[in-house]
Amino acid sequence: MAREVEKKAVFDTDSAKEVVKELRASFVAGKTKSYEWRVAQLKALLKMTEENEPQIAAALRDDLSKPELESYIYEIAMLKNSCRLALKEMKRWIMPEKAKTSLTTFPSSAEIVSEPLGVVLVISAWNYPFLLSLDPVVGAIAAGNAVVLKPSEIAPATASLLAKLVANYLDSSCIKVVEGAVSETSALLEKKWDKIFYTGNGRVARIVMAAAAKHLTPVVLELGGKSPVIVDSGINLQVATRRIIAGKWGCNNGQACISPDYIITTKDYAPKLLDSFKRELEQFYGKNPLESKDLSRIVNSNHFARLSKLLDEDKVSGKIVHGGERDKNNLKIAPTILLDVPLDSLIMNEEIFGPLLPIIMVDKVEDSFDVINSSGTKPLAAYLFTNKEKLKEKFVATVSAGGLVVNDTTVHLAEHTLPFGGVGDSGMGAYHGKFSFDAFSHKKAVLYRGFACDAFVRYPPYTRRKLRL
Ligand code: NAD
């Protein structure tokens, strides 16, 4: 009996049904639609984050040994900024947008009304488990929806902290966290949602999309890919190197969706770039990076084994020119650079999502575009370091990716005026800033007419004379 009491309740399709039923009742009653409710929830989310910063950082340390500064900058501060922006701008976002009308409906006026979609599901990933869980929730609340959040089981400390905090601070009749892995997510996916917002890999995205299709539920899919960095000569090499390091090893030790995945540079420039990497990496992480407190660990032994397999492939193992040290017990891998890896190797054919960085060499920097485009997939981000205007133009015109940055890496995600999302294999839909509000809103077309000017031409009988008008 005692054992049964201790057993955690199983979350199955019946539980999912209950959750959706409760949230739908709240939505239908209009609870989430009022401006006051939205403001109160966003303020509560901000307060929740502010009052629990040490606990959030500790959970991220447990899950990923994420350095505190990274937790603060990339998760806590970004979430707070999202809440503050929504609180500041939401009134404007909610306002109906006037639309022009034409002679066809004269006299008339028109507007586009943003209405909430209803009850939405957010499924998030483990690498930025706090931000990726709550940032979409900010958009869902601002747009007036009820939300179920399913955080990643691969970051369990953060997932259970989220469940506790959300229940304590937010309106639990409209916003709930469901913890769990595949079976719990599958139970949730059986239900009818008004939108599913999924962050994670492309394999599971296909499962999510297939489940959504059964109910004609729209989806946002925030996925990943192999984000390339083209490095031209004649640049400020030290600044470029540091910015690549910050986007790669400084972002969760490469376990970030927009981290540089591989570099393309010319055969002539590669030795200089490599020297610069060695110099700067030693400055940042010391002579024994496995002991550095400023590098996250690999999230679990499965991912450690996956990354090891990429490094140990015969055609790749001899190409390590920097790093390569591993500590299996502590799940640590040092920043590792590989030079001249074959394009048909494993490491060049899957998203690396870790601290390994291959450098591909080309004869001319312009050849880089062919390397990217011949992969046949569209990355989430692409980066170019150059001073040449023509090369920048060609980059923007020829490389298709979720987002591009010239002369830096990853920082576009901090600009709320830019949509953040993928294209093709890297996903569909976008969020951040007002794009988050739009992702969770239906844009309802409304046309207003009076009774004047009742054009007779549209009414039968359809005479020849009417056709000529
Ligand atoms: P993950 O393993 O945490 O999975 C993501 C979510 O899918 C989890 O909540 C998990 O419970 C759920 N899930 C897993 N298997 C499932 C199944 N069979 N059925 C239903 N749900 C299932 O995270 P991941 O996929 O390893 O995340 C890494 C990937 O996510 C990388 O490709 C990365 O690029 C991408 N990513 C993208 C973004 C972005 O904003 N575009 C951000 C972070 C990560």
ipTM for the predicted complex comes to 0.98
- Reply yes or no on whether the pLDDT at 8 is more than 70: no
| Mean pLDDT to the nearest integer, 67-84 | 98
Active site residues: 222, 257
At residue 1 the predicted structure's pLDDT band, cuts being 50, 70 and 90, is very low
| Mean pLDDT to the nearest integer, 131-158 | 98
| Mean pLDDT to the nearest integer, 35-52 | 98
User: How many CB atoms neighbour CB 334 within 10 A?
Assistant: 22
Atom of ligand 1 nearest to the CA of 208: 20
Atom of ligand 1 nearest to the CA of 200: 30
At residue 456 the predicted structure's pLDDT band, cuts being 50, 70 and 90, is confident
Residue with token string 């601290």: 355
Instruction: Verify whether ligand 1 is closer than 6 Å to residue 182 (CB atom).
Output: yes
Instruction: Verify whether ligand 1 is closer than 6 Å to residue 295 (CB atom).
Output: no
pLDDT tens profile 88-97: 999 999 999 9
Pocket test for ligand 1, best of 127, 301, 413 (most atoms within 8 A of CB): 127
Q: What SS3 string covers the chain?
A: CHHHHHCCCCCCHHHHHHHHHHHHHHHHCCHHHCHHHHHHHHHHHHHHHHHCHHHHHHHHHHHHCCCHHHHHHHHHHHHHHHHHHHHHHHHHHHCCEEECCCHHHCCEEEEEEEEECCEEEEECCCCCCCHHHHHHHHHHHHCCCEEEEECCCCCHHHHHHHHHHHHHHCCCCCEEECCCCHHHHHHHHHCCCCEEEEECCHHHHHHHHHHHHHCCCCEEEECCCCCEEEECCCCCHHHHHHHHHHHHCCCHHHCCCCCCCEEEEECCCHHHHHHHHHHHHHHHHCCCHHHCCCCCCCCCHHHHHHHHHHHHCHHHHCCEEECCCEECCCCEECCEEEECCCCCCHHHCCCCCCCEEEEEEECCHHHHHHHHHCCCCCCCEEEEECCCHHHHHHHHHHCCCCEEEECCCCHHHHCCCCCECCCHHHEECCECCHHHHHHCEEEEEEEEECCCCCCHHHCCCCCHHHHHC
Task: Judge whether 141 and 42 are in contact, CB under 8 Å.
Answer: yes
For residue 325, the Cα-to-chain-centroid distance in whole angstroms is: 30
Of 123, 131, 151, residue with least CA distance to 66: 131
**How close is the Cα of 206 to the center of ligand 1, in Å?**
11
| Mean pLDDT to the nearest integer, 328-355 | 97
Of 133, 141, 120, residue with least CA distance to 38: 141
Residue nearest to atom 27 of ligand 1 (CA): 200
Tokens of 184: 């719990």
Bridge partners (DSSP) listed for residue 385:
231
Instruction: Verify whether ligand 1 is closer than 6 Å to residue 224 (CB atom).
Output: yes
Residue nearest to atom 19 of ligand 1 (CA): 182
Instruction: Verify whether ligand 1 is closer than 6 Å to residue 123 (CB atom).
Output: yes
Pocket test for ligand 1, best of 223, 259, 301, 353 (most atoms within 8 A of CB): 223
Q: What is the pLDDT of residue 466?
A: 84
Q: Determine which of 76-80, 215-219, 464-468 has the lowest per-residue pLDDT on average.
A: 464-468
Average pLDDT value for the chain? 96
Residue 393, C-beta contacts closer than 8 angstroms, at least 6 positions apart = none
**How close is the Cα of 379 to the center of ligand 1, in Å?**
16
Instruction: Verify whether ligand 1 is closer than 6 Å to residue 181 (CB atom).
Output: yes
Atom of ligand 1 nearest to the CA of 186: 20
Task: Judge whether 400 and 251 are in contact, CB under 8 Å.
Answer: no
Instruction: Verify whether ligand 1 is closer than 6 Å to residue 132 (CB atom).
Output: yes
Bridge partners (DSSP) listed for residue 381:
403
Instruction: Verify whether ligand 1 is closer than 6 Å to residue 82 (CB atom).
Output: no
Instruction: Verify whether ligand 1 is closer than 6 Å to residue 437 (CB atom).
Output: no
Q: How far apart are CA 157 and CA 408, in angstroms?
A: 32
Task: Judge whether 469 and 457 are in contact, CB under 8 Å.
Answer: yes
Q: What is the pLDDT of residue 9?
A: 76
Residue with token string 């109910």: 215
Pocket test for ligand 1, best of 66, 133, 152 (most atoms within 8 A of CB): 152
Q: What is the pLDDT of residue 7?
A: 53
pLDDT tens profile 345-402: 999 999 999 999 999 999 999 999 999 999 899 999 999 999 999 999 999 999 999 9
**How close is the Cα of 199 to the center of ligand 1, in Å?**
5
At residue 2 the predicted structure's pLDDT band, cuts being 50, 70 and 90, is very low
